[in-house]
């Protein structure tokens, strides 16, 4: 069964690149959202197998989004992988608190992104 | 037997005698019948026996033996010999013997022994003829018995008369003795035979007419018995007599009572003595119990009493010490005797009393041969003497003696001696008591004196030490000591350090004597070892300097001060002789008592301690003051706490910061300022530190005077005394809010920048990775899309990096504005051209309201600013919206209200203002300012949506600020925003600072053109004319052609370095006098003085203030502007100020009082007055008032430099035309210096201008 992954990032170009990487390389079904709010709506409407979440976003950032996802029964147990360009010690602490599946750093290796995620979530690799 | 024999036998036997014959040796040869019948032995039984052994008594023979021995003078054995001893001698021997019968009974015999001789006359035997004498003896015994009986009778009577103890005699009627008993014989000393039958009045003729005579006659005549006692002188005896008349005559019984009479007389005598003694004892008792006013009265009473009792005219109580006899008390008719008179002990009668320790009496000295040569007898003829030792505490104290020139008829009675001895004992006890009492009194007096001294000392010491001020202490000392001693002068003399002399530093002198306070005294005597003695704590005292035993140099020194007596005690400060405390008596000589000396010495010690203490206090005060000044001028917040953890000190900085008063902050008051959230942490940390006494650092928020909480870093360190005792903490707080903010911003910046850079990088690398991975080979459209993404983001990345570098360059000053005269209208047009494209794309209309005006600007940068503002406006404008750009000239002087609040100062120069207005969504008020920060877009997503980097406005602000302009935004939400840019308008003639033709010409020589440009800009801005030279050679050429007023010279230059250039300039006549300031990256060699050819040395990059100061000094502008008058009573501060201004070449004058200030300012006409307000005599206000009245000095620039914060009312009062109010402690010395110098320069310029006009 094809895995369904939801990508939330405010940066359009990154969304595009990541979508290609996950769908083409990973062979997964990919949905995208440009903001936390949109992502939550989509996750509730069509719960994905995993969520790839950008941290630094205007208005509702990654942590706020994560909090919202955890507060909803429908989305509570969906594994979340954070995606961030901002890796600072203070944030590291917050990541731990939120018990996310993993934190991936930007810029990522697009060709290996799907493989990394599959390893994290112990999904069988597409190939 | 023969007949003869028979006859013989018959005769023998018939005789009534016992006849016994013996041989010569006593063997019985014949024993007749009578003998046999009487003795009971037969002749056979005894013949041939030795006679004595048979019938003689051994005891009788022994007795006869003793008799014969006595009679004949030869010893005869008690045996036969005793019977024949006499017979042998041919003497008849007849005597009584006892014969012992055979039955043992005895009978007396009269035995006659005859020797029987032969013809030759040889004794051949003895014949003993005995006669029984028992009858005769019996008869004799009967007669004897009868006689004895009669005798017994008579004896009984006689015995009764004889045996009575009374004497007795009987007289007949003719007064003749008829009977006299033995007792009477004895008493009358007459034999009975002499007087019996004699008339009594014949025998005792002396008694006729006596009591005896009368009484006997009375008894006889009256026939009565009489009884009487009478003395009979011839016999020197007393008798008691009982006489009874009788028929026969008179019987007289009498007894000798002489002995009794004598006893009676003695008794009576004794009774009298006893009575006298008793009376005397009463005297003694009286003496012992009388409470005499003085002790001498007691002694006098003793003597009076003694003299009366002994009836002697002279009485003395003496004290004997060694060989000296001293009259202690005397009563005498001898006038020369008086208390205190001394004699040699040996020459007094008392010598014996003392040596023998007993009473001695003489009743008639003249009668004693060995005494006649005695000095007392020789001189005073004292005949009678009674002396008794006085013992005090078991030792001979002296004597009590009475004497008289009269011979004493009767020897001193024992009771008299005894009485005197008792009296001496009493006196001894009294003296002992007196001595004890005197000793006690002495003790008490000493104690009282001691107490008084302690009390006085305490009083004086208290007065002296009441103050901590040395001067007061010394003043009090002399005053108090003078009053206490009633001395004419008391002074404190302080020795010079070399101790060759000194100064009178304090004096209390009574008005009659010269004042010597302040006098320098170089005592020639000090050269001697005087000082050494004082150093060792010796006290010098002279009762009278005129007494002659004083060193002449000393007398010479003291005489002018009128000193007659002096007392000098050293004042030692920490074992060093500091000076002397001296008391003078001028009026008269004076013996200083030990008490006074001691007291003065103790006080001098106190002064010494006070000196040492005052030094400490002074040092402490100074250190305290230094600390406070330091603390108050420190730019940090200082606090101090004690061991109780309470805060005990806050510096001015703290109080200024918190805006609270000291009393509010003290103790735990400061806690109120700590932010609620930090309070627990702050207090816990402090508490913890206190317990461990470790240094600590805490960061917390503290409320500032403006109610804003500021982050402070509180650093505390424990304080310890030099002895290591913990005293609390001292600490400082610094406001680290800005630092924290900067750190936060930096962190955020780094975070944001990294994010901003990584975002496009993510797109680029992701896209390229996928492309390179070849996964999209089948999807060329998607591949193309990714390529586009990569390209666009690469561009964005470049733009971003450029912007970041750009702003960094501008802000760090590395990017210089290439300013030139530009037309504002032209710049705006260019910007519009550049943005028209995007406006068209966004369907936004651009409206330009131009103004043709020249500005000095870097056109590219200004266009960048305008383009940025326009593109922002376009980006945020709704479709079909309009963006206006308008340029206006602000010709009216701007006021702060009209200008943006950030406007630093009033601006009177014409200003160009460019506004860009849009109809966009507007900017929230909170963001109006922050949008000019880096990456501070109103909306974070803007940068992506609108293609900005988030740095545009930050760059704009930097550029505008580098054009001395301002940029800000105004907005109302949904009403659009307006961005303002103001720029100075280029007005060559109207810009005094930059275009002033008279500005000094500065030549800057540096091989680095950027330095030249910066320096030129800076200096021109400060009103200097600037020439630049890029090499030493060029500088020399320019300087020779147009000599500058000052040269700024770099050292490290290629070809011709600074030093070579300097040498060349100094060698050239034209350029020699040009002051040269070195402007170099090098530091001058440490410790080396500057080359005299160099006016100053500034290290690059130059501190602007320092540079200007150097220029001003080099130009010598300051020294043309004359005089500063400093009115300051603090000498130290005044000296510092004078030194500072002298450095600037300013003439400085200094006065300490307001009055002096007024006087001097009239003389010197100062160009500036620095005035302290609190002054002795006329204060600062008076000085200002006076200056204001003065027609010329009313213009003088005034700097009020005082420690008080002055409110506006006071400032108004003090305000002259140009007045600067500077608060001591609030302003650093450098600031003060700069402000005053600036004022002075301004004044000088004004003056110059005035004079040019």
Predicted local confidence at residue B995, as pLDDT: 36
Element counts in chain A: helices (H) and strands (E):
5, 5
Beta bridge partners of B199: B176
8 Å CB contact of A17 and B763: yes
**H or E element, residue B220:** helix B211-222
Predicted local confidence at residue B947, as pLDDT: 59
Assign B904 a pLDDT band (cuts: 50, 70, 90): very low
Q: Which region among A13-27, A61-75, B481-495, B881-895 has the lowest average model confidence (pLDDT)? A: B881-895
Average pLDDT over residues B1246-1251: 60
Q: Report the C-alpha gap between B596 and B785 in whole angstroms.
A: 118
Mean pLDDT over each residue of chain A, to the nearest integer: 86
Q: Which region among A113-127, B686-700, B938-952 has the lowest average model confidence (pLDDT)? A: B938-952
Q: Which region among B539-548, B565-574, B723-732, B1222-1231 has the lowest average model confidence (pLDDT)? A: B1222-1231
Q: Which region among B272-286, B344-358, B379-393 has the lowest average model confidence (pLDDT)? A: B272-286
Most confident range (mean pLDDT) of B142-146, B417-421, B766-770, B1136-1140 is B766-770
Predicted local confidence at residue B68, as pLDDT: 82
Predicted local confidence at residue A86, as pLDDT: 65
Q: What is the 3-state secondary structure (H, E, C) of B1045-1113?
A: CEEEECCCCCCCCHHHHHHHHHHCCCCCCCCEEEEECCCCCCCCCCCCCEEEEEECCCCHHHHHHHHHH
In chain B, which residues have their Cβ closer than 8 Å to the Cβ of A19? Answer: none
Contact status of A12 with chain B (Cβ, < 8 Å): yes
Predicted local confidence at residue B327, as pLDDT: 92
In chain B, which residues have their Cβ closer than 8 Å to the Cβ of A88? Answer: 747, 751
Q: Report the C-alpha gap between B665 and B653 in whole angstroms.
A: 13
Q: Which region among B157-166, B269-278, B575-584 has the lowest average model confidence (pLDDT)? A: B157-166
Predicted local confidence at residue B900, as pLDDT: 42
Contact status of A114 with chain B (Cβ, < 8 Å): no
Assign A78 a pLDDT band (cuts: 50, 70, 90): very high
Average pLDDT over residues B871-875: 89
pLDDT in tens, B310-332: 888 999 999 999 899 999 899 98
Contact status of B661 with chain A (Cβ, < 8 Å): no
How does strand B709-720 pair with strand B249-256? unpaired
Predicted local confidence at residue B795, as pLDDT: 84
Q: Which region among A60-69, B94-103, B1105-1114 has the lowest average model confidence (pLDDT)? A: B1105-1114
Looking at residue A124, the DSSP 8-state letter turns out to be P
Of the candidates B762, B769, B941, which has its C-beta nearest A111's C-beta?
B769
pLDDT in tens, B843-854: 998 888 877 788
pLDDT in tens, B807-842: 777 777 666 777 788 888 888 888 888 888 888 888
Whether B404 contacts B416, CB under 8 Å? no
Is B453's pLDDT higher than 80? no
Contact status of B947 with chain A (Cβ, < 8 Å): no
Most confident range (mean pLDDT) of A24-28, A86-90, B797-801, B1086-1090 is A24-28
State the CB neighbour count (10 A cutoff) for residue B25. 11
Is B11's pLDDT higher than 60? yes
Q: Which of B743, B748, B766, B947 to mutate to test the interface with A (most CBs of A within 10 A)?
A: B766
8 Å CB contact of A10 and B793: no
Beta strands in B533-666 (DSSP E): 540-542, 565-573, 576-585, 637-641, 647-650
CA atoms within 13 A on the CB side of B859: 13
CA atoms within 13 A on the CB side of A122: 1
Mean pLDDT over each residue of chain B, to the nearest integer: 82
Q: Report the C-alpha gap between B326 and B700 in whole angstroms.
A: 98
Looking at residue B667, the DSSP 8-state letter turns out to be B
Contact status of B939 with chain A (Cβ, < 8 Å): yes
Assign B740 a pLDDT band (cuts: 50, 70, 90): confident
Predicted local confidence at residue A15, as pLDDT: 92
Is B261's pLDDT higher than 90? no
Average pLDDT over residues B1017-1041: 83
Assign B894 a pLDDT band (cuts: 50, 70, 90): very low
Average pLDDT over residues B1040-1066: 86
Predicted local confidence at residue B996, as pLDDT: 39
Assign B1013 a pLDDT band (cuts: 50, 70, 90): confident
pLDDT in tens, A14-26: 999 999 999 988 8
For B789, name the nearest residue in chain A, comparing CA atoms only. A13
Predicted local confidence at residue A44, as pLDDT: 93
Average pLDDT over residues B281-287: 80
Assign B902 a pLDDT band (cuts: 50, 70, 90): very low
Q: Report the C-alpha gap between B1110 and B1100 in whole angstroms.
A: 14
Assign B987 a pLDDT band (cuts: 50, 70, 90): low
- Domain positions in chain A are 4-117
Q: Does domain A4-117 have CATH number 3.40.50.2300?
A: yes
Average pLDDT over residues A52-66: 87
Whether B587 contacts B562, CB under 8 Å? no
pLDDT in tens, B1114-1137: 776 545 557 888 888 888 888 888
Q: Which long-range contacts (CB under 8 A, 24 or more apart) does B789-795 make?
A: B789/A13, B789/A16, B789/A17, B789/B763, B789/B764, B790/B763, B790/B764, B792/A13, B792/B763, B793/A13, B793/B759, B793/B760, B793/B761, B793/B763, B793/B764, B793/B767, B794/B760, B794/B764
Give the ipTM: 0.90
Q: Report the C-alpha gap between B467 and B477 in whole angstroms.
A: 11
Of the candidates B754, B785, B786, which has its C-beta nearest A85's C-beta?
B754
Assign B389 a pLDDT band (cuts: 50, 70, 90): very high
Give the number of beta-carbon pairs within 8 Å between A and B. Answer: 87
Predicted local confidence at residue B1249, as pLDDT: 55
Average pLDDT over residues B381-393: 90
Assign A43 a pLDDT band (cuts: 50, 70, 90): very high
Is B990's pLDDT higher than 50? no
Average pLDDT over residues B448-458: 77
Going from the C-alpha of B640 to that of each of B196, B630, B679, the distances in angstroms are 145, 14, 19
Residues 6+ apart with CB under 8 A from B694: B718
In chain B, which residues have their Cβ closer than 8 Å to the Cβ of A21? Answer: 766, 769-770
Higher pLDDT, A89 or B788: B788
Contact status of B784 with chain A (Cβ, < 8 Å): no
8 Å CB contact of B770 and A56: no
Beta bridge partners of B1053: none
Most confident range (mean pLDDT) of A43-52, B431-440, B699-708, B843-852 is A43-52
Contact status of B274 with chain A (Cβ, < 8 Å): no
pLDDT in tens, B46-68: 888 887 777 888 888 888 888 88
Find the helix packing angle between B594-633 and B470-485, rounded to 10°: 160
Contact status of B785 with chain A (Cβ, < 8 Å): yes
Predicted local confidence at residue B903, as pLDDT: 38
Contact status of A111 with chain B (Cβ, < 8 Å): yes
Predicted local confidence at residue B997, as pLDDT: 47
Predicted local confidence at residue B1148, as pLDDT: 84
In chain B, which residues have their Cβ closer than 8 Å to the Cβ of A14? Answer: 759, 762-763, 766
Give the CA angle between residues B532, B533, B534 to the nearest 5°: 90
Instruction: Specify the 3-state DSSP secondary structure of B163.
Output: helix
End-to-end CA distance of chain B: give it in Å, rounded. Answer: 231
Predicted local confidence at residue A7, as pLDDT: 95
8 Å CB contact of A13 and B769: no
Contact status of A126 with chain B (Cβ, < 8 Å): no
User: What percentage of chain B exceeds 70 in pLDDT?
Assistant: 92
8 Å CB contact of B755 and A56: yes
Whether B561 contacts B490, CB under 8 Å? no
Predicted local confidence at residue A87, as pLDDT: 58
Assign B945 a pLDDT band (cuts: 50, 70, 90): low
Is B893's pLDDT higher than 50? no
Is B131's pLDDT higher than 80? yes
Positive or negative, the CA dihedral B1210, B1211, B1212, B1213 is positive
Of the candidates A24, A106, A107, which has its C-beta nearest B776's C-beta?
A24
Is B916's pLDDT higher than 90? yes
Is B1's pLDDT higher than 70? no
Assign B454 a pLDDT band (cuts: 50, 70, 90): confident
Is B956's pLDDT higher than 70? yes
In chain A, which residues have their Cβ closer than 8 Å to the Cβ of B793? Answer: 13
Predicted local confidence at residue B496, as pLDDT: 80
Is A41's pLDDT higher than 90? yes
Contact status of B393 with chain A (Cβ, < 8 Å): no
End-to-end CA distance of chain A: give it in Å, rounded. Answer: 13
Q: Report the C-alpha gap between B1145 and B1149 in whole angstroms.
A: 13
Length of chain A: 127
Of the candidates A12, A17, A57, which has its C-beta nearest B786's C-beta?
A17
């Amino acid at each position: 069964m094809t895995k369904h992954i939801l990508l939330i990032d405010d940066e359009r170009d990154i969304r595009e690149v990541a979508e290609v990487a996950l769908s083409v390389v990973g062979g997964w079904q990919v949905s995208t959202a440009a903001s936390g709010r949109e992502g939550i709506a989509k996750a509730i409407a069509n719960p994905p197998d995993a969520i790839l979440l950008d941290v630094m976003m205007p208005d509702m950032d990654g942590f706020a989004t994560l909090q919202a996802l955890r507060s909803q029964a429908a989305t509570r147990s969906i594994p979340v992988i954070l995606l961030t360009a901002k890796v600072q010690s203070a944030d590291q602490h917050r990541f731990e608190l939120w018990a996310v599946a993993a934190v991936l750093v930007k810029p990522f290796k697009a060709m290996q992104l799907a493989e990394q995620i599959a390893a994290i979530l112990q999904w069988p690799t597409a190939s | 037997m023969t007949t003869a024999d028979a006859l013989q036998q018959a005769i023998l036997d018939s005789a009534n005698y016992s006849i016994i014959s013996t041989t010569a040796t006593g063997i019985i040869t014949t024993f007749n019948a009578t003998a046999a019948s009487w003795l009971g032995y037969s002749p056979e039984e005894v013949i041939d026996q030795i006679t004595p052994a048979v019938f003689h008594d051994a005891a009788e023979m022994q007795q006869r033996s003793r008799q014969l021995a006595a009679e004949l003078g030869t010893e005869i054995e008690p045996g036969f010999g005793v019977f024949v001893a006499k017979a042998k001698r041919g003497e008849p021997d007849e005597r009584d013997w006892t014969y012992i019968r055979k039955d043992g009974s005895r009978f007396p015999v009269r035995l006659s022994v005859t020797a029987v001789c032969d013809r030759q006359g040889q004794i051949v035997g003895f014949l003993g003829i005995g006669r029984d004498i028992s009858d005769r003896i019996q008869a004799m015994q009967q007669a004897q018995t009868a006689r004895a009986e009669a005798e017994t009778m008579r004896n009984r009577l006689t015995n009764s008369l004889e045996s009575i103890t009374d004497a007795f005699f009987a007289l007949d009627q003719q007064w003749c003795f008829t009977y006299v008993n033995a007792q009477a014989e004895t008493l009358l000393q007459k034999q009975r035979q002499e007087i019996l039958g004699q008339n009594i009045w014949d025998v005792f003729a002396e008694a006729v007419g006596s009591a005896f005579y009368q009484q006997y006659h009375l008894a006889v005549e009256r026939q009565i018995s009489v009884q009487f006692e009478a003395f009979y002188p011839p016999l020197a005896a007393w008798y008691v007599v009982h006489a009874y008349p009788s028929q026969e005559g008179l019987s007289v019984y009498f007894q000798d009572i002489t002995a009794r009479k004598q006893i009676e007389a003695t008794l009576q005598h004794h009774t009298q003595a006893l009575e006298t003694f008793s009376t005397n004892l009463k005297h003694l008792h009286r003496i012992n119990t009388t409470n005499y006013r003085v002790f001498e009265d007691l002694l006098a009473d003793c003597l009076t009493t003694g003299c009366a009792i002994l009836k002697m005219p002279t009485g003395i109580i003496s004290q004997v010490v060694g060989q000296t006899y001293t009259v202690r008390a005397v009563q005498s008719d001898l006038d020369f005797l008086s208390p205190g008179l001394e004699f040699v002990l040996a020459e007094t009668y008392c010598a014996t009393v003392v040596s023998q320790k007993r009473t001695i009496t003489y009743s008639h000295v003249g009668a004693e041969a060995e005494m006649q040569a005695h000095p007392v007898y020789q001189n005073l003829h004292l005949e009678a003497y009674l002396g008794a030792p006085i013992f005090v505490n078991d030792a001979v104290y002296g004597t009590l003696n009475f004497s008289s020139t009269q011979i004493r008829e009767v020897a001193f009675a024992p009771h008299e001696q005894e009485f005197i001895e008792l009296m001496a004992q009493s006196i001894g006890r009294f003296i002992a008591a007196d001595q004890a009492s005197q000793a006690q009194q002495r003790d008490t007096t000493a104690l009282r004196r001691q107490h008084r001294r302690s009390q006085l000392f305490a009083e004086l010491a208290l007065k002296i030490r009441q103050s901590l001020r040395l001067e007061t202490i010394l003043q009090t000392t002399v005053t108090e000591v003078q009053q206490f001693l009633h001395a004419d002068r008391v002074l404190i003399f302080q020795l010079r350090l070399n101790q060759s002399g000194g100064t009178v530093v304090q004096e209390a002198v009574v008005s009659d004597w010269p004042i010597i306070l302040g006098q320098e005294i170089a005592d020639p005597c000090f050269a001697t070892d005087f000082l050494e003695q004082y150093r060792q704590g010796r006290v010098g005292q002279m009762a009278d300097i005129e007494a002659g035993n004083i060193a002449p140099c000393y007398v010479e020194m003291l005489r002018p001060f009128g000193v007659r007596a002096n007392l000098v005690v050293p004042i030692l400060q920490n074992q060093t002789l500091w000076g002397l405390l001296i008391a003078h008596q001028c009026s008269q000589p004076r013996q200083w008592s030990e008490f006074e000396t001691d007291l003065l010495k103790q006080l001098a010690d106190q002064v010494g301690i006070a000196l040492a203490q005052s030094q400490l206090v002074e040092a402490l005060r100074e250190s305290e003051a230094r600390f406070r000044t330091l603390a108050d001028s420190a730019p940090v917040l200082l606090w101090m706490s004690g061991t109780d953890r309470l805060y005990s000190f806050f510096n001015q900085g703290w109080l200024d910061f918190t805006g609270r008063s000291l009393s509010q902050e003290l103790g735990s008051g400061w806690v109120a300022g700590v932010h609620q959230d930090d309070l627990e942490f702050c207090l816990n940390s402090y508490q913890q530190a206190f317990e461990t006494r470790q240094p600590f650092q805490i960061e917390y928020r503290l409320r500032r005077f403006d109610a804003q909480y500021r982050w402070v870093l509180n650093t505390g360190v424990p304080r310890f005394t030099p002895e290591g005792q913990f005293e609390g903490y001292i600490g400082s707080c610094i406001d680290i809010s800005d630092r924290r903010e900067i750190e936060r911003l930096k962190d955020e910046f780094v975070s944001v920048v990294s994010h901003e850079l990584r975002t496009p990088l993510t797109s680029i690398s992701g896209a390229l990775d996928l492309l390179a991975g070849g996964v999209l080979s089948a999807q060329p459209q998607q591949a193309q899309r990714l390529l586009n993404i990569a390209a666009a983001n690469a561009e964005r990345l470049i733009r971003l990096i450029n912007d970041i570098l750009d702003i960094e360059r501008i802000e760090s000053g590395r990017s210089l504005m290439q300013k030139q005269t530009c037309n504002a209208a032209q710049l705006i047009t260019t910007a519009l051209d550049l943005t028209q494209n995007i406006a068209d794309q966004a369907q936004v209309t651009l409206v330009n309201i131009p103004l043709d005006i020249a500005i000095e600007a870097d056109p590219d940068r200004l266009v960048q600013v305008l383009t940025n503002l326009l593109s922002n406006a376009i980006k945020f404008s709704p479709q079909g919206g309009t963006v206006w750009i308008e340029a206006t000239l602000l010709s009216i002087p701007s006021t702060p209200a009209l200008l943006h609040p950030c406007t630093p100062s009033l601006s009177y120069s014409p200003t160009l203002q460019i506004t860009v207005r849009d109809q966009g969504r507007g900017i929230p008020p909170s963001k109006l300012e922050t949008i000019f920060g880096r990456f501070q877009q109103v909306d974070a997503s803007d940068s992506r949506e609108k293609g900005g980097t988030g740095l545009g406005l930050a760059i704009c602000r930097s550029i505008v600020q580098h054009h001395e302009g301002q940029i800000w935004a105004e907005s109302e939400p949904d009403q659009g925003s307006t961005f303002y840019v103001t720029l100075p308008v280029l007005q060559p003639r109207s810009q005094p600072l930059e275009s002033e033709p008279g500005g000094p010409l500065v030549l800057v020589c540096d091989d680095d053109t950027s330095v030249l440009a910066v320096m030129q800009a800076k200096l021109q801005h400060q009103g200097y004319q600037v020439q630049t030279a890029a090499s030493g050679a060029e500088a020399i050429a320019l300087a020779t052609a147009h000599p500058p007023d000052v040269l700024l010279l770099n050292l490290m230059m290629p070809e011709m370095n600074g030093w070579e250039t300097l040498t060349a300039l100094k060698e050239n006549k034209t350029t020699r006098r040009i002051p040269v300031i070195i402007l170099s990256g090098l530091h001058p060699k440490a410790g080396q003085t500057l080359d005299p050819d160099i006016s100053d040395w500034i290290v690059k990059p130059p501190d602007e203030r320092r540079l200007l100061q150097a220029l001003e000094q080099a130009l010598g502008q300051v020294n043309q502007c004359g005089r500063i008058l400093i009115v300051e009573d603090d000498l130290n501060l005044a000296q510092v100020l004078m030194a500072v201004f002298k450095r600037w070449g300013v003439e400085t004058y200094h006065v300490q009082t307001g009055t002096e200030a007024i006087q001097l300012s009239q003389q010197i006409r100062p160009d500036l007055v620095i005035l302290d307000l609190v002054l002795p005599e006329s204060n600062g206000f008076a000085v200002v008032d006076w200056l204001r009245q003065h027609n010329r000095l009313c213009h003088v620039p005034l700097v009020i430099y005082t420690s008080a914060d002055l409110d506006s009312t006071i400032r108004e009062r003090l305000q002259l035309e140009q007045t600067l109010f500077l608060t001591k402690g609030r302003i650093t010395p450098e600031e003060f210096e700069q402000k005053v110098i600036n004022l002075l320069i301004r004044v000088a310029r004004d003056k110059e201008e005035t004079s040019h006009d």
